[in-house]
Chains A and B, each alone.
Chain A
Amino acid sequence: DAGVTQSPTHLIKTRGQQVTLRCSPKSGHDTVSWYQQALGQGPQFIFQYYEEEERQRGNFPDRFSGHQFPNYSSELNVNALLLGDSALYLCASSLGGRGGYTFGSGTRLTVV
């Protein structure tokens, strides 16, 4: 039973560029949440997708956007990258958003 799959695992981008991160949820899960984890800190909630719509959003600027597809997979897009966007981006899936999450191993984004 595949868990949460994220791609790519590592990424280096230049300031001002745009990036797209991808996530396939655990089989049977329909809700995808995205988190940003800076080094040595706890995950910070970016947004959550359910039924192809953004259901909740954390305190992140509009440069962060997302999408959920009919097969429940999801993308996180970040425009106009800043050095401060360098972090581990985690995707977590769940069923209806309830209960505990299953996390992927994340995408390590470095902005130079």
Chain B
Amino acid sequence: QQQVKQSPQSLIVQKGGISIINCAYENTAFDYFPWYQQFPGKGPALLIAIRPDVSEKKEGRFTISFNKSAKQFSLHIMDSQPGDSATYFCAASMSTGGFKTIFGAGTRLFVKA
């Protein structure tokens, strides 16, 4: 119930294309859903986050779509660029008990120039 399942494991997209990464969760107590971007040799960096009271959030080329009834959320990267090549993690946390954050297994994105 504490798991966050992420797919695909890896993704290759052409420059200018749309990258889509999907996540699913079970525990309905989760109330904060961030996405992190990690480059080799670095720690994850917060990219964008959403709360379950909205269905979509957009920041620049990055959009989160959230489906509360299906317990799924996804990250869309529009106009993907080679500099977006990184590992992306979805995550979920709950405000009860201190916002412990559970991470998905990650998606390795490669954007071909």
Contacts and interface: CB of A to CB of B under 8 A. Distances in A.
A42 B106 contact: yes
B105 interface: yes
Contacts of B34: 100-101
Given A42-B89, A98-B95, A103 B45 contact: yes
A45 B100 contact: yes
Nearest to A44: B103
Contact of A45 (B36, B89, B101): B101
B43 A56 contact: no
Size bracket of the A interface: 20 to 34
Interface string A56-73: 101000000000000000
B49 A99 contact: yes
Nearest to B105: A42
A4 B43 CA distance: 10
A40 B98 CA distance: 27
A74 interface: no
Contacts, number: 63
B104 A56 contact: no
A102 interface: yes
Interface string A26-49: 000001010100001111110010
B42 A105 contact: yes
A18 B95 CA distance: 34
A31 B97 CA distance: 13
B43 A104 contact: yes
29 contacts: A4-B43, A31-B98, A35-B103, A41-B106, A42-B6, A42-B104, A45-B100, A45-B101, A48-B98, A55-B97, A55-B98, A56-B97, A56-B100, A58-B100, A90-B44, A92-B43, A94-B99, A96-B99, A98-B95, A99-B49, A99-B99, A101-B34, A101-B101, A102-B46, A104-B43, A105-B41, A105-B42, A105-B43, A106-B42
Interface of A: 4, 31, 33, 35, 40-45, 48, 50, 55-56, 58, 90, 92, 94, 96-106
Interface of B: 6, 32, 34, 36, 41-46, 49, 89, 95, 97-106
